Amino acid sequence: MDELRHEAAEARASRARVVNAADDQRRSIERELHDGAMQHLVALGVNLQLAADLVPAGSPELAELLGEMLRNAHEALDEMRQLAWRIYPSLLLDCGLGDALRTAAAGAGIPVRVETAAFGRCAPAIEASVYFCCVELLRHAAEDGHDATLRVWSEHELLRFDVTLESADIERWQTRDLTSVSDRLAAVGGRLVVEAGRGVRISGATPLATAAQGVIPEPCHTSAR
């Protein structure tokens, strides 16, 4: 029995290392995009604007061409920012789970009410796991066109979250493939539950770990979209 417990603990630790390594790589790619390609696009936009300002009044075709190139540069920069955010939002690392989730919910494509109770900063692995789980659940909700309520709070040494969809079909959600969500939670010692209530409630909980520098107070926020 002790050997089985040891093997189970080793398996959990191995899975956690894999998830943490993947998140480290996500952060590295986001930083490379921000400090590399995005900065080049910003510089390109500035140079195109300077060139457009120097176009003689009698060259409308050149002015139009430079204007189109400038618009293309701005569009490429916006797409690069969105890509970097999907890979790993810098806001999550800089400001914490609450701010990152509110921003993600605002771009979910469906009305999402976000409620984050007051809790401090958690270990990066915990924050990343809860963030990406919530984003994945909102993505599924958006596919069905459901409004959602997303809550995150701490309770009894656990960081908890749930996504409530009042008009959703419980059978559809019980058969939906949520393996990526449950596996990510399991890697940090958490679990996922799908249950019926007023519609569908998908909830998760993971052991709460605070950052090494101690708890950083975070105010309670409630926002609606």
Structure tokens at 10: 């080793």
Q: Strand pairing of 148-155 and 112-116? A: parallel
157 and 106 in a single domain? The answer is yes
DSSP-derived 3-state class of residue 196: strand
Strands of 199-207's sheet, edge to edge?
191-197, 199-207, 158-165, 148-155, 112-116, 221-223
pLDDT in tens, 161-200: 999 998 888 888 988 999 989 888 888 888 899 998 778 9
Residue 9 confidence (pLDDT) above 60: no
Q: Which of 35, 66, 87 represents a domain boundary (last residue)?
A: 87
- What single-letter amino acid sits at 120? G
Q: Which residues contact residue 119 at a Cβ distance below 8 angstroms, ignoring those fewer than 6 apart?
A: 152, 153, 154, 159, 208, 218
Q: Which domain holds residue 31?
A: 2-87
Task: Report the run of H or E that residue 1 belongs to, with start and end.
Answer: none
Predicted confidence band of residue 121 (pLDDT cuts 50, 70, 90):
confident
Residue 125 to residue 97: CA distance in whole angstroms: 11
- The domain boundary, picked from 33, 54, 87, lies at 87
* Burial track 38-53 (b if 16+ CB lie within 10 A, e otherwise): beebeebbeebeeebe
- Quick: pLDDT tens for 76-113: 988 887 777 777 788 888 888 999 999 999 988 999 99
- Look at 29-38, 46-55, 150-159, 172-181 and tell me which has the smallest mean pLDDT: 29-38
In a shared domain, residues 47 and 74: yes
193 burial type by CB count under 10 A (0-12 exposed, 13-18 middle, 19+ buried): exposed
What domain count does the chain have? 2
In the structure encoding, which two tokens stand for residue 218, read together? 């975070």
Identify whether residues 47 and 157 lie together within a single domain: no
Q: Are residues 102 and 194 in the same domain?
A: yes
Q: Which pLDDT score, from 0 to 100, does residue 201 have? A: 93
pTM above 0.85?
no
Residues 81 and 159 grouped into a single domain: no
Residue 178 confidence (pLDDT) = 92
Query: Which distant-in-sequence residues (6+ apart) come within 8 Å of 135 by Cβ?
Result: 104
Does 202 share its domain with 120? yes
Contact 171, 207 (CB under 8 A): no
Q: Is the dihedral of CA 154, 103, 180, 27 positive or negative?
A: negative
Distance CA 107, CA 61 (A): 37
Are 79 and 124 members of one domain? no
**What would the two tokens of residue 58 be?**
């009698």
Do 135 and 168 lie in one domain? The reply is yes
Dihedral sign, Cα of residue 48, residue 51, residue 57, residue 58: negative
- In terms of domains, do 203 and 174 share one? yes
Same domain, 100 and 39: no
Q: Which residues pair with 203 in a beta bridge?
A: 162, 193
For residues 82 and 109, membership in a common domain is answered with no
